[in-house]
Structure 1
Amino acid sequence: NACQDCVCINGNIQCVTKACRPLSCPLNQQVHSPGSCCPRCANCSAVGYLFAEDETWISPMDSCLKCQCHNGVVTCGRTRCIVPCQTTVAVPGQCCPVCRGCTFNNMVGHDIIAIPHDNRCMSCECNANHTWLCSPTSCPPLDCPQSDRYTPKGTCCPICDRCYLDVENRNVASGFSWRVSECQSCRCDLGSIVCSTQQSNPNYDVTTGDCCEECIDPSEGCVYDGHTVAPQHRWLVDKCTTCQCFAGEGELRHATMQVRGAPSVTPGECCPHCIPRPASCVAFGDPHYQTFDGRMIHFQGTCRYLLTADCSRAAFRVEVENRNIGGDARVSWTDRVHMTVAHHRITVDGFYNVMLNGTQVPHLPLLIKPYIFIDKSANTLLINTHLGVRLSWNALQHHLQVEVPSSFKKKLCGLCGNFNNLPQDDLRLRNSRIARSDIQFGNNWKVLGREMQSCPDATPYNPCDGISYRKRKRANNACKVINSDLFAQCHQVVSPAMYFSACVHDVCACGGNEDYCLCDVLETYAAQCRRAGVVVRWRSSTLCALNCPSELGYVFDECGSPCKRTCANTNLPPSVIEEQCYMPCVSGCQCPAGMVEYDGRCINSMDCPDT
C-alpha cells in the first residue's frame, strides 16, 4: 500500500498512513500515478482559468511570460528577445519590439534572408514586421570517424569524404551507393548515409525478386496453393470459405476470399459446420492499426479519432485519444479510450482508471445488467457488452483490441475499416472515397469538436529517416527476433512481416527507450499468436523480462486465465465467471492455481474472510 509506511518493532507491525494535501481541482480531474499514494490534478488552475495537461499559454499580466501545465503544476519561463536592429518599436500586447527595418551589414533591408558572418550555422529572415527571425541550421548525422570530419570554409556543417559501415567494417567513398534490400538502397553523401525506399502498393502481389508490382497477362490467372487458377474461377477451400480469381486487362491479379464463418465440430457429430466468426482490430505501438480485414495502417496523429463504430444503426462507438511520445510531436501512442454503448459512456486511461458517464468507478468488476461487464485481469482491462462487442486494453503497453461479431459485417467505419473481408478498400473516407495514403485516411477520421482548432493534422513522417545508419541497423537487428525461431511456431498462423515493419518504425522513434518499444510490439505479436491458438513462451531474463511481486504470491503466466478468481467469486461455478470472459488467455502476473486474489495479494481460498 503506497499510502502506508510500516516498521517491525519487537515482532509487532506498526503502520502510519500518509496524509495527502487537499487539491484544488474536482475529483473527476484528479489522477493517480502508479506507485504513488496521493492523487494529483490533471489540470492546472491559473489566472482564473483552468488549463489542460501540457497546455501552454501567454500570461495576461506579462506578454513575455510563457507558461505550461504539467502534472498539475504550472511552470513559466521568460521569452528572450533578440532584435538585430538599432531602431525598434514596441507593439502593445506583444513581448518583443519590432524593427523599423532589419539592419544587416550596416544596411536596412526588407524581406531578405541573411546568414550572420559570426555564426554560419544561423539563418535569419526579415519578415513583414521588420523583425529578424533566426533559426539554427540542422546538420545531418555523420557516419564517419571524428578524425575524418572537417568543415569547409564559409559553411556550417562538418562533412567527410567517406562513410564508415560499422556493420560491414569497411569504408566507402562519398557518392558510393548500394542496395540494402530489394526495395531499399543507400548512398554515402559527404559522410552521411542516406537511404531511400521504393514504395510498393500493399494491395497487390509483389513479383518475386523485385520491389514494385507489374501488370500481368490476364490469361495467366491466379496462383493458389502452388496451382494456377483461371480468371473468374471460383473454388471452395472449406465449407466456410469461397475464393475467386480476379484478373483483367491492365489490372493486377488478386484472389478474393469470402469467409462466411469458422468451421466448428459440435460434440457428438462428425462433420464441421460454419459458426459466426468474430473479427478483431488492434491498435499498438506509435501507433499502428491492424483493421478487421487484416490491413496494417501506420498513422501517428495526436488528436482524438474514431477507431470504429456501427455507422448503420449507431449501436456502439469507440474513440481513441493519442498523445506525443516524449518530446517528439510527430510520434504518438494511444493514451485514452472512449466507448459508447447502450446510452452509457465509458472512458479508460493509461492508469486503468474507469469513468462511467463522467463518474469514476471506484472498484472492479462492474456489471450493468444486461449491457456491460468490466473487469481487470493481470495487465489487461476487459469490457464485454451485450452486443458481442468486446474491448481489451493493456495500458502499460498502449495495446488496444476491439472484437466484433459477424453481425456487424459491412456496417462499420473508422480507422479499423469497414469489416467486409476486403483489405483493399479499408482506407475508406467519410465520403465513401478511398484515401490515397494512411495519413489522409487517419486525418479524415479525426473526431470533430472544440479541440479541432488546436489539434493539427498529422503529416508524413518516418523516424528511421532522421537517425544514423548505425541506429537504423540496430533497430533492424533488434526486431529480427520476430522472424526468428523463437516465434517460428506462430509464423504459419500470423504473418510476422507487418509486425517486423512496425517494430523497426517504433524502435527508430523511441530514441533511448528502445527496449520498451521493442517489447511493446513483441507482446502485440504474441497476443495475436495466442488469439490464433499458439502460445509462445518468448520472454527471458534478457528479453522483455516481467518481474511479478512474489512476496505477494503472484507468478508470471504467458497464458493465464482472463477470468480472475477472487474471494468475491470463489464460490461461484466456473461457468458463471467464464460467461463474461472472451479472450483465450492473457499474459501477466496471476495467482497460482488454487489461490485467489484478495486485497492486492494471493491467498488460499480457505483463508477468505466471511462477507
Structure 2
Amino acid sequence: MGLQLARLVAICLALALAGGSALQREARPRSHGHSVCSTWGDFHYKTFDGDVFRFPGLCDYNFASDCRDSYKEFAVHLKRSQGQGGGHPQVESILLTIKDDTIYLTQQLVVVNGAMVSTPHYSSGLLIEKNEAYTKVYSRAGLSLMWNREDALMLELDSRFQNHTCGLCGDFNGLPSYSEFLSEGVTFSAIEFGNMQKINKPEVVCEDPEEVPAPESCSKHVSPSLGALRVSGWGPHLWVLSGTLLWGERGAVSSCPPPRPSCQRAECERLLTDAAFQDCQARLPLELYVQACMQDRCRCPQGGACVCSTLAEFSRQCSHAGGRPGNWRSASFCRKWPETEPVAASLGLGSPGKGSVPSPRGPQLWGAR
C-alpha cells in the first residue's frame, strides 16, 4: 500500500511538473514577431515587416490603417515637427480612429470624439492611460499604442490584421521591402514611399520632402541600402548631455569626430553591445540599429539626442522581444531631466513576465526604458 501510494505521489508530482513547464512555456514571451511598427528619433521608421527607413516628412501621414475594402476597423495618422529652433524631431500629434471612436492626442491633450477627457479614460473596448513618461491606448479591436509624447511612437497589432494594413508601417505581409519599396517590378525610394502616405488636406499647404544626396560621411561607410535612406531586414523632458554625446566609455569625452564614420561605426557598435544590452543581442538585428546610430551621427544636427533616441528604441524593442535590458542611462550619458525612475517602472508595465498590465483583450504592450 505504501509503495502504491509513493508511486501515485510520484506520478502526480511528475504531471504537476510537466504542467508547470507547459505553463512556463506558454507564459514565456513570444519571440520578437513583426507585429510592431515604430518611429523614433531623427525620422526613423520600422515597418511591421522589419524594414527600417528614414523619411523626414513634416505633413500629416497615414502611419498605419486597416485598408480592406470592406469595413475598416482602425486608422492611425501622425504629424511630426522639427522641434523648436530646428531641434530634435518630435511627433506633434496623433489621430486614431478605432471603429466609431476618434482619439486625438497631443503632448497636453487627450480628446475623444470631440471632447477633452481626463485619464485614465475608459469606454466600451477602449482604455487610455497617461503618466509622466507615456500616453498609452489599448483597444479590444486588437491594437495597442504607446507614445512618449516626444519622438517615439509604437503600434502593435493583432495578427488578424496581417496582409490588411497600409501606410508608413507597410502591409504586414511578412516580407520586408515587397509591396512597400518593390511592387510589380517598380522600386520606390524611402522618400517616394513616404510621400505616398501623405494625408491630403485642401486647407493645409505642406511641401513634400525631396530626395537629398546622403552626406559623404554617411554614404561611404553606411550599407548601400541605408545610403538610399533605408535598410531592409527586419518633449517635455530636457536632454542633458555633457557637451555632445559621450562616445566610448561612459563619462569619457568623445574621441570620434564626425568626419570619421569608420570610427562612428565602432562607437555605435560599442554602445549597442554595452553590458546593459547583453540580453538583447540574440533577440534583435543589431546591424539595423548600428546603421540608424551612424545616420544619427552624420545627419542629425543634435547628434547626441538622436543617438540617445535610437538606444531608447533598441531598449524598447528588446523588452518587447522578451529581453531584459538594463539601465543604460547614467547621470552623464543620455540623462533626462527631471530624472525619474526607470521608465519600465513608471509605465506600470514592468518587463515582460514581471507583472505586466494586460491590455483589454488587445495585444500586450511592452515595458520600456
Query: Scaled by the length of structure 2, what TM-score is found?
Result: 0.70
**Which residue matches 2:268?**
479
**Which residue matches 1:415?**
168
**Which residue matches 2:207?**
456
Structure 1 residues 278, 525: CA separation in 2 closer, same or farther (over 3 Å shift)?
A: closer
Secondary structure of the 1:383 match is strand
Please state how far the C-alpha of 1:447 moved relative to its aligned partner.
0.7
User: Of residues 329, 342, 360 in structure 2, which corresponds to 1:557?
Assistant: 342
Contact 1:285/1:521 (<8 A) preserved: yes
Structure 1 residues 577, 440: CA separation in 2 closer, same or farther (over 3 Å shift)?
A: closer
Contact 1:322/1:334 (<8 A) preserved: yes
Matched pairs, number:
301
Matches within 5 A, 1:57-96: none
Please state how far the C-alpha of 1:360 moved relative to its aligned partner.
2.4
Please state how far the C-alpha of 1:539 moved relative to its aligned partner.
1.4
**Which residue matches 2:81?**
323
Contact 1:278/1:406 (<8 A) preserved: no
Q: Distance in 2 between matches of 1:479 and 1:417?
A: 27
**Which residue matches 1:583?**
365
Contact 1:464/1:508 (<8 A) preserved: yes
Q: Distance in 2 between matches of 1:433 and 1:355?
A: 43
User: Of residues 142, 153, 158 in structure 2, which corresponds to 1:400?
Assistant: 153
**Which residue matches 1:207?**
none
Contact 1:464/1:505 (<8 A) preserved: no
**Which residue matches 1:369?**
124
Matched, 1:340 2:127: no
Matches within 5 A, 1:432-471: 435-451=187-203, 454-461=205-212, 464-465=215-216, 470-471=257-258
Please state how far the C-alpha of 1:424 moved relative to its aligned partner.
3.1
Please state how far the C-alpha of 1:440 moved relative to its aligned partner.
0.7
Please state how far the C-alpha of 1:411 moved relative to its aligned partner.
0.7
Contact 1:300/1:333 (<8 A) preserved: no
**Which residue matches 2:37?**
281
Please state how far the C-alpha of 1:564 moved relative to its aligned partner.
7.5
Please state how far the C-alpha of 1:514 moved relative to its aligned partner.
2.7
Secondary structure of the 1:560 match is helix
Please state how far the C-alpha of 1:307 moved relative to its aligned partner.
0.8
Q: Which amino acid aligns with 1:531?
A: H
Query: Scaled by the length of structure 1, what TM-score is found?
Result: 0.44
Matched, 1:300 2:87: no
Contact 2:101/2:113 (<8 A) preserved: yes
Q: Distance in 2 between matches of 1:548 and 1:326?
A: 19
Secondary structure of the 1:364 match is coil
Q: Distance in 2 between matches of 1:483 and 1:506?
A: 14
User: Of residues 269, 285, 307 in structure 2, which corresponds to 1:495?
Assistant: 285
Q: Distance in 2 between matches of 1:266 and 1:421?
A: 33
Query: Greater strand percent: which structure?
Result: 1
Structure 2 spans left out of the alignment, 5+ residues: 1-17, 219-255
**Which residue matches 1:526?**
315
Q: Which amino acid aligns with 1:583?
A: L
Moved over 4 A (4+): 265-273, 275-278, 325-329, 431-435, 474-478, 574-581
Secondary structure of the 2:285 match is coil
Structure 1 residues 267, 384: CA separation in 2 closer, same or farther (over 3 Å shift)?
A: farther
Secondary structure of the 1:337 match is strand
Q: Which amino acid aligns with 1:502?
A: A
Contact 1:278/1:403 (<8 A) preserved: no
Please state how far the C-alpha of 1:497 moved relative to its aligned partner.
1.3
Q: Distance in 2 between matches of 1:271 and 1:440?
A: 46
**Which residue matches 1:96?**
none
Matches within 5 A, 1:190-205: none
Structure 1 residues 346, 387: CA separation in 2 closer, same or farther (over 3 Å shift)?
A: same
Contact 1:321/1:334 (<8 A) preserved: yes
Q: Distance in 2 between matches of 1:458 and 1:270?
A: 50
**Which residue matches 2:180?**
427
Contact 1:462/1:505 (<8 A) preserved: no
Larger radius of gyration: 1
Contact 2:61/2:197 (<8 A) preserved: yes
Q: Which amino acid aligns with 2:123?
A: I
**Which residue matches 2:324?**
535
Structure 1 residues 577, 327: CA separation in 2 closer, same or farther (over 3 Å shift)?
A: closer
Deviations 1:108-152 (CA, angstroms, capped at 9, x unpaired): xxxxxxxxxxxxxxxxxxxxxxxxxxxxxxxxxxxxxxxxxxxxx
Please state how far the C-alpha of 1:432 moved relative to its aligned partner.
7.9
Q: Distance in 2 between matches of 1:496 and 1:342?
A: 37
Contact 1:346/1:356 (<8 A) preserved: yes
Q: Name the structure, 1 or 2, with higher relative contact order (CA <8 Å, separation 6+).
A: 2
Please state how far the C-alpha of 1:462 moved relative to its aligned partner.
5.4
Q: Distance in 2 between matches of 1:402 and 1:576?
A: 17
Deviations 1:358-416 (CA, angstroms, capped at 9, x unpaired): 3322x21000122x1000244111100111111000113x1000000111111111111
Please state how far the C-alpha of 1:418 moved relative to its aligned partner.
0.7
Structure 1 residues 425, 577: CA separation in 2 closer, same or farther (over 3 Å shift)?
A: closer
Q: Distance in 2 between matches of 1:336 and 1:415?
A: 16
Deviations 1:463-490 (CA, angstroms, capped at 9, x unpaired): 64489x9424375565344443333431
Query: Greater helix percent: which structure?
Result: 2
Matches within 5 A, 1:206-221: none
Secondary structure of the 2:163 match is coil
Q: Which amino acid aligns with 1:449?
A: K
Please state how far the C-alpha of 1:577 moved relative to its aligned partner.
6.3
Please state how far the C-alpha of 1:428 moved relative to its aligned partner.
5.8
Matched, 1:384 2:138: yes
**Which residue matches 2:15?**
none
Q: Distance in 1 between matches of 2:62 and 2:156?
A: 15
Structure 1 residues 576, 295: CA separation in 2 closer, same or farther (over 3 Å shift)?
A: closer
Contact 2:144/2:359 (<8 A) preserved: no
Structure 1 residues 433, 336: CA separation in 2 closer, same or farther (over 3 Å shift)?
A: farther
Structure 1 residues 561, 426: CA separation in 2 closer, same or farther (over 3 Å shift)?
A: farther
**Which residue matches 2:66?**
310
